């Protein structure tokens, strides 16, 4: 069994100075305590107790090139002497905007921010200003940040969520403004008829419909055939904006994100995480006529660190690596991720465990269920979460780091040797579940 004595001691000390001992509530979900890490390199993290972890959390997605990618660090190091924050424009910012409008199908204009949560807030403001309407439609199980207007029905308990045909908007945290629920309409995902019925009732009030084009936060569930296209057609017919939250899928499912993979052109999109190879950067991209209201109608969006020199340098270097040799990095991730997904499924059969591996090679999830693959949040929530948590703990004891809901992020550093090592460890971890 690995020792975590120093992490335990540091967390006890951290609680004296940091609220809860962490800087994000998501980080509580670690055993035996929120772990402390000393460094990361490639596919591995090294904790303060000397344990080595093959990392499939990757900072919750940003480290698509692995930890400390040399080319990105070199670009950032070279930028440091140029300054950090100008409160003005610079050429790296323009160069990145040019690259993004070339790569992202729905991007005629972009605007930079620092975090995905902040960029979602910007997209909502743009949608409301452009349409003159108030209401935003979101879906159960989709996460769009932790603000009052977004942290709604992300992981609601099923006894609070109401009937599947008419879900109740459930606030996910104490302290949220009650009025925030007034402007949010909640639906179950992958049900086009439900979207049609909602537009029939509220079409003139809906400013936009936001979704993860793949429901990563609710189980890495792909959209049903024709579903996203049908939602966008309904938005267009009713004068609402179709908003894709590609904070996770962007630059993870391909250079054009999920929209490039599925052949979409959303009215607005939000990107973050993988775009800068681990450095803080987010953006809103969209139709020219929609995005231009930031200027023409003086719709307010600000931010001291937007477009900062180091994040621009990091993103330019990261995208250059991802684009190199016709996107060879993605072909390698597809190959290695497919091998890992198939290997985990085979190990489940070997150990007679009801494991389901669902998603895409660069981001997938393992479930424990005897039912069919989940199509929406409520089916995902019905899977065996206790077994998933036990599997996560067993993997950690074998040197494999996945999050508590058993989502797996891959990077370009997860090569064949790393995948083979992971599968050997997963074999031992599954054997532990029987002991």
Segment 263-295, tens digit of pLDDT: 999 999 999 999 999 999 999 999 999 999 999
Are 5-68+327-432 and 70-320 equal in CATH topology? Answer: no
Which residue in 61, 119, 80 sits closest to 314, CA to CA? 80
Q: Which residues of 393-429 are buried (b: 16+ CB within 10 A; e: fewer)?
A: bbbbebbbbbbbbbbbbbbbbbbeebbebbbebbbeb
Task: Kindly report the pTM of this predicted structure.
Answer: 0.95
Between these two residues, 26 and 213, which has the higher pLDDT value? 213
Strand-pairing partners, residue 137, are 185, 209
In this predicted model, what pLDDT tens digit does every residue of 4-18 receive, in sequence order? 999 999 999 999 999
Is cis: bond before 32, omega within 30 of 0?
A: yes
**CATH label, 70-320, candidates 3.20.20.10, 3.40.640.10, 1.10.3720.10, 3.40.50.720:** 3.40.640.10
Residue 143 designated active-site: yes
Q: Is 28 a catalytic residue?
A: no
Q: What is the pLDDT of residues 357-382, one digit of tens each?
A: 999 999 999 999 999 999 999 999 99
Helices 227-238 and 192-202: angle between axes, nearest 10 degrees: 10
Q: Is residue 111 within 8 Å of 301, Cβ to Cβ?
A: yes
**Does residue 29 or residue 126 have the better pLDDT?**
126
The mean pLDDT of 21-38, rounded to a whole number, is 90
Predicted confidence (pLDDT) per residue in 312-326, tens digit: 999 999 999 999 999
Q: Which one from 49, 273, 330, 377 is the annotated catalytic residue?
A: 273
Q: Are strands 363-368 and 355-360 parallel, antiparallel or unpaired?
A: antiparallel
Q: pLDDT-based confidence at 431, cuts 50/70/90? A: very high
Residue 253 has pLDDT above 90, yes or no: yes
Q: Is the predicted pLDDT of residue 434 greater than 80, yes or no?
A: no
Q: Where are the domains of the chain?
A: 5-68+327-432, 70-320
User: Does domain 5-68+327-432 fall into CATH 3.90.1150.10?
Assistant: yes
Catalytic residue among 47, 49, 55, 245: 245
**Mean of pLDDT values over 89-115:** 97
Query: How confident is residue 158, by pLDDT bands cut at 50, 70 and 90?
Result: confident
pLDDT category, 144, cuts 50, 70, 90?
Answer: very high
Is 245 a known active-site residue?
Answer: yes
Confidence of residue 435 (pLDDT cuts 50, 70, 90): low
pLDDT recorded at residue 28: 84
Q: Are 244 and 211 in contact (CB under 8 A)?
A: yes
């Amino acid at each position: 069994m690995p020792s975590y004595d120093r992490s335990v001691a540091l967390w006890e000390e951290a609680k004296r100075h940091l609220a809860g001992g962490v800087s994000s509530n998501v980080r509580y979900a670690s055993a035996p305590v929120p772990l402390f890490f000393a460094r990361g390199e490639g596919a591995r993290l090294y904790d303060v107790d000397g344990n080595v972890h093959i990392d499939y959390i990757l900072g919750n997605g940003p480290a698509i090139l692995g930890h400390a990618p040399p080319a990105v660090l070199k670009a950032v190091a070279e930028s440091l002497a140029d300054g950090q924050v100008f409160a003005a424009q610079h050429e790296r910012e323009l160069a990145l905007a040019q690259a993004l409008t070339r790569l992202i199908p729905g991007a005629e204009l972009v605007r930079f921010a620092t975090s995905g949560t902040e960029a979602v807030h910007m997209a909502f403001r743009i949608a409301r200003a452009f349409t003159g309407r108030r209401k935003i439609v979101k879906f159960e199980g989709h996460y769009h940040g932790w603000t009052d207007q977004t942290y709604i029905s992300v992981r609601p308990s099923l006894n609070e969520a109401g009937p599947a045909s008419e879900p109740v908007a459930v606030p996910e945290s104490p302290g949220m403004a009650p009025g925030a629920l007034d402007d949010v309409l909640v639906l179950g995902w992958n049900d086009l008829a439900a979207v049609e019925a909602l537009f029939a009732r509220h079409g003139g009030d809906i400013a936009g419909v936001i979704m993860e084009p793949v429901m990563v936060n609710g189980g890495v569930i792909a959209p049903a055939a024709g579903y996203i296209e049908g939602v966008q057609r309904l938005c267009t017919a009713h004068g609402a904006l179709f908003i894709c939250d590609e904070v996770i899928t962007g630059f993870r499912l391909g250079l054009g994100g999920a929209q490039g993979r599925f052949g979409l052109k959303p009215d607005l999109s939000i990107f973050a995480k993988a775009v800068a190879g681990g450095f803080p950067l987010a953006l809103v991209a969209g139709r020219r006529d929609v995005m231009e209201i930031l200027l023409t109608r003086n719709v307010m969006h600000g931010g001291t660190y937007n477009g900062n020199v180091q994040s621009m340098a990091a993103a330019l270097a990261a995208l250059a690596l991802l684009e190199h040799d016709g996107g060879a990095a993605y072909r390698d991730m597809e190959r290695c991720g497919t091998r890992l997904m198939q290997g985990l499924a085979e190990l489940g059969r070997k150990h007679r465990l009801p494991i389901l591996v669902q998603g895409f090679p660069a981001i997938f999830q393992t479930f424990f269920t005897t039912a069919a693959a989940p199509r929406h949040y409520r089916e995902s929530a019905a899977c065996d979460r206790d077994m998933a948590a036990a599997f996560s703990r067993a993997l950690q004891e074998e040197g494999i780091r996945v999050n508590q809901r058993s989502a797996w992020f891959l990077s370009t550093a997860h090569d064949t040797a790393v995948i083979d090592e992971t599968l050997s460890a997963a074999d031992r971890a599954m054997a532990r579940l029987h002991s």
